[in-house]
Chain A
Amino acid sequence: MIPAIVARNVRKSFGQVEVLRGITLEVRFGEVFGMIGPSGSGKSTFLRCLNSLETVDDGDVYVNGEFVGYRFQDGVLRQLDDRELSAQRMRTGMVFQRFNLFAHMTALENVCCGPMVVQGVAREEAHKTGRALLDQVGLKGYYDRYPVQLSGGQQQRVAIARAMAMKPEILLFDEPTSALDPELVDEVLETIKALAKEGRTMVVVTHELAFARDVCDRVAFMDEGQLVECATSAELFGAPKMPRTRDFLQRLNAQAAA
């Protein structure tokens, strides 16, 4: 079976700054893959390369067995056009740090918008599945709320339902709890945890180490654009091999203890 995600020597620069310096990793289907590391380590940028929100300068990114952003033809890589890119993006769902719910739509409309606009699903059917998804993330009865009328945690759960509405093979989470008030973090983590138990393929960029340790099958530690260490979560948190990983974990543990 092909892996869900294959990255080989992925490089990416913003101007003079090289933010990804040769990332190589593999994510298997059914796996929950965590990515941790200090701010600016490139983990969010890497995640955004997986659905072409950023373009890669060099190296391979395969998602669902498809080369991301380009198609190999006549010996060259041709950039995908608008339509092809959409078809590719549909196969992943993304949850953003700042939720990015469509501000002019209710919770239900946010969830149904993708299937209706992109896949041409009929309103009745889309609403039915949309309501079921909102129920699943614990937002029964919140269908007609606009984003401003929801708390951060509720908004993020709507965003998770919106991502799932397209029935993607892979879910990408970009620091899903970083913009939340501390007391709202748990409800979102619980929702993600429940999805993990269903055996979904997920990549989660997070600062929540306890969550990464408990929920992720494998965890990658990134620093300064490099993948320092990638191991099962038990190994990475229990017995980190690389000094940089150890420093990072110790620093955070000291902070948590203080």
Chain B
Amino acid sequence: MDEIGTRLPPMAGVVRVGLRHPVRWIIAALCVVVLVIVGRAFAYGQIEWAYVGRFLTAKAIVQGFGNTLLLTALAMALGIILGLIAALMRLSENPVAKAIAGGYIWFFRGTPIYLQLLLWFNLALIFPSVGIPGLWEARMVDVMTPFWAALLGLGVCQGAYTAEVIRAGILSVDAGQVEAARAVGMRGPQVMRHIVLPQTLRIITPPISNEVIGMLKHTSIAAVISYNEVMHTASMIYFVNNRVIEMLIVCSIYYLAAVTILSILQSLLEKRLGRSLNRSSRRVASEEGAGA
């Protein structure tokens, strides 16, 4: 060691003290105070918690939420099917298919969902009857029930958004994957099914989960065409008993519970689809040696 080095004191073994964070403590204390004030306000506010408890298990509310879940599942399924078709059309080389998919996305993303629901519900004003000529015929007012109007309205609109999510997912799959699949002799549809879409699925799971959670709550807009989902049911009840806040709290509990479950399902799904990205067994591989 040179002369300068020996004059600098050695610090091995000396206790090291971390940096203090006084501001963190102050901010944390302020947050707690605000939380207590808000909590106290609600505790002493005019909420009849007994009503909340009673209506939480009321048959009408449970059925209403059942309808919410049904509409969410079916509208989302329709949205994903339409979205996949529209995404593939938009990515195709066929200019007509491309333009039609573009127009679909343009229209259904470009108008409010509220407006679209009213359009579907009032379709009878444009087409008084519906059917296959000579085989089956019905009056549109009988066919376009609140359920069908809500399902078509939400599902078709969702398809326009999902199309863009799926398209982005497909585009993010590396072009080399497609070339490799082509090189082993796969045909176009086989490349899509076995190579591109499985990888797309992993990429689009977070945004699609987001859309499912959004859809669960958007179904409440079907109340405007008097579909019996949970918000509509709750409003029917509070028009009679005037317990507006209590009924809204009941609805919140149902929505929060469902979203919590969906979030858990999402993370399980992501974990499963992410298996191929988990580098953790890399270490095991190197411990085993080159294997050659």
Contacts and interface: CB of A to CB of B under 8 A. Distances in A.
Contact of A100 (B179, B185, B194): B179
Contacts of B281: 145, 149
A51 interface: yes
Interface in A35-72: 51, 53
Interface string B137-181: 000000000000000000000000000000000000010110111
Contacts of A197: none
Contact-residue size bin, chain B (C-beta under 8 Å from the other chain): 20 to 34
A125 B195 CA distance: 21
A166 interface: yes
Contact of B276 (A94, A104, A117): A104
Interface stretch (B79-87, B223-231, B282-290): B282-290
Nearest to A148: B279
B184 interface: yes
Contact of B186 (A118, A159, A165): A118
Interface string A142-174: 100111111100100001001101100000000
A90 B185 contact: yes
B277 A100 contact: no
Nearest to B202: A104
Interface string A212-229: 000000000000000000
A148 B184 contact: no
User: Chain B contact residues: over half helix, strand or loop, or mixed?
Assistant: helix
Contact of A93 (B182, B184, B186, B276): B184
Contact of A53 (B183, B202, B276, B286): B183
Nearest to A153: B290
Nearest to A139: B291
Contacts of A138: 290-292
B198 interface: yes
Interface of A: 51, 53, 82-83, 86-87, 89-90, 92-94, 96, 98, 100-106, 113-114, 117-118, 138-142, 145-151, 154, 159, 162-163, 165-166, 187
15 contacts: A53-B183, A90-B184, A94-B183, A100-B176, A100-B179, A105-B276, A113-B194, A118-B185, A138-B291, A140-B291, A141-B288, A141-B291, A142-B285, A148-B279, A165-B184
